[in-house]
Amino acid sequence: MSNTSKLKQDLLPFLTRDEISSLVKSLAKQIEIDYAHKEVIFICPLRGSVHFTADLMREVQLQQQVDFVDVKSASKGGAIKIIKDIGINIAGKHVIIVEEIIDTGRTLSFLRNRLLASNPASLKIVTLLDKPARRELPIRADYVGKTIDDRYVVGYGMDSEELGRNYPDIYFLKN
């Protein structure tokens, strides 16, 4: 049995692609209201946020740019380092970090501080899923699609050992 089909056996349905789409549209509308007539720069942390960022960008009817960062935690609780930094100047710009899920908040806190050092006009965070039970640092998203319990999720960019990112729906890992 392949790893992919083994993973599928260990999953319970959580959010369908239609439910995800509805959350994305709702978040996009909130962003459009808050940033009416302004340009926004979406910052997409690789890899998990790619699906959400692409869908959100298609829904947000504002002038926009996107850039990508790759930030890694060396180990559980270890040092965080930038593998790939942003390539555009965000000074004086309206920046939105796009996260598929906020878990401990360590990497996101690091990224937020890194971006604030570049003096954006504003910096907000949008997350599809928020898992506050796992938070190690007091960081909150400005826009939250759905708050979830402390369960492991797979699909729509989120993976289990690099498997499942491509699933269009989101699943809980059975435990």
The residues carrying an active-site annotation are 103
Sequence-ordered list of residues with C-beta below 8 angstroms from that of 174, at least 6 positions apart, any chain:
10, 11, 12
Identity at 76, one-letter amino acid code: K
The per-residue b/e assignment along 124-153, b for 16 or more CB within 10 angstroms, e otherwise, is: bbbbbbbbeeebeeebebebbbbebeeeeb
